[in-house]
Amino acid sequence: MGGEAVDSVVSSGSLSDGEVSLDEGFATQVPTHFRDGLSSNVGSETAKKDDVFGLGDFEGEDGVFSSALESEIYLRRRSSAYREVLGSYDTSRVPIESLGRAKSKILSYHPGAWIEEVGGTRSFDYNVPQTTSLVLIGPRGSGKSSLVNRISKLLEDDNFASERAQVSYNPSVGDGTYFLQEYMIPRGSTSFCLYDTRSLSMDPSEDNKIIKRWMTKGVRHGELVIRESDNWSLRKRMRCKARWGGHPFSVIRRVNFVIFVVNGLTVLKSMDNNHDGQSQYTQLIADTYNCPYLSFKDDKPVVVVTHGDLLSIPERARVRVYLGELCGIPPTKQIFDIPDNSDLLTQFTIVDMLRYSLEHADRNLPRKTWVLKGEWRVPVSACLYLALIVGIAIIAACVKRAHPSLRGMRPVHKSKIHIDWPKIRHLWLG
């Protein structure tokens, strides 16, 4: 379901009762001509334009495949990805003891724990935050708040704990999340936190402005998120909810990594109904995900697919392969399927997703500014202090030279000073 939990193709007998086997799921999704052999039709126009697995049209840069061989390679690569994703739903490959070890690694995490000392750097060369911040971003109804609750309950090992994030039961009614909400994971810890954010709008340019502000200036608990397109009545209602101006004294945290959350059911509808405007959802995903401010150098955000419990296993596999091609990331390594249930595989996927996010957050911590000379490393702050001292000395020398009277002054030796104590005894006797 994502990450390195299970990567190999499994047999039809390894899935639990009620689940679709690999052979059955693959047979229902792959066109007959593809199962019987690609070579017979690969040179035809049908093979070039056929929508394998119903994943949508992802053609080459020139709009068409330049040769029959490239077309066959492309279809085989998609087939391999689909099989690999289906294999990741094998629950027999996730023993309970593995889940316990994985959880302990997350619970023992501290900022900077997974820094990779490469290029001659050491851990003290980086600006390590007190708390690692993971920000959840996604369209309306994608399940960001529900994901926060699931993560919190899993790591606190308390399924009966009250939900921390407010969930919208009906996304079409209510306001949703309009204030940035910080959740320490687990409660009482300061190792890392999740930030629940306002949902994306249908205008990527407006979303990118907000994302740019978060990624360059940081995020703060309780901050009201207002868009330029928000009407007057909405702004007034949100400010009323803010009461005393939110949390002006909250700590501003740098964003260390991004978790991009999408609704798997809506993605599937968009894939199957591109003619009725549903494709706006996937277009929003593509435009926002490719916002350069969401990436850390070459590291793109992880993608979490929610509401998979409403879909079959083959449909969930289709969604992940489609999103992998849409976002340009491996569907079995960087796309995590987290449905609304508490089975063993879902728990392992949550922990695997957090491990990936925290590792990449530490990998991309900002480095301190150093002045290098040979093997010596001098902090810039030390250079500034040294320059300040030298400047004061120069100013003092200039002042002394500008006033000759100061140059002729000699300090009076304390032995030459005579005080007539009897005459001033009224001063110190009161």
Q: Which residues of the chain have pLDDT under 50?
A: 4-50, 52, 59-63, 277, 371-376
Give the pLDDT confidence score for residue 18 in this predicted structure.
42
For residue range 259-271, list pLDDT tens digits in order: 999 999 999 998 8
Please choose, from the candidates 349, 352, 333, 353, the residue with its C-alpha nearest in 3D space to the C-alpha of residue 341: 349
Assign domain 91-363 to its CATH superfamily: P-loop containing nucleotide triphosphate hydrolases (3.40.50.300)
Give the pLDDT confidence score for residue 46 in this predicted structure.
39
Is the omega angle on the peptide bond into residue 186 within 30 degrees of 0, that is, cis?
A: yes
Give the pLDDT confidence score for residue 160 in this predicted structure.
78
For residue range 189-235, list pLDDT tens digits in order: 999 999 999 999 888 889 999 999 999 999 999 998 988 888 888 88
Q: What is the DSSP string of 136-193?
A: EE-BTTS-HHHHHHHHHHHHHT-TTSPPSS---SSTTSS----B-EEEEESTT--SEE
Give the largest Cα separation in the chain, rounded. Answer: 124
Give the pLDDT confidence score for residue 15 in this predicted structure.
44
**Residue 106, burial from CB neighbour count under 10 angstroms (0-12, 13-18, 19+):** buried
Give the pLDDT confidence score for residue 211 in this predicted structure.
96
Q: Where are the domains of the chain?
A: 91-363, 382-429
pTM given for the model? 0.73
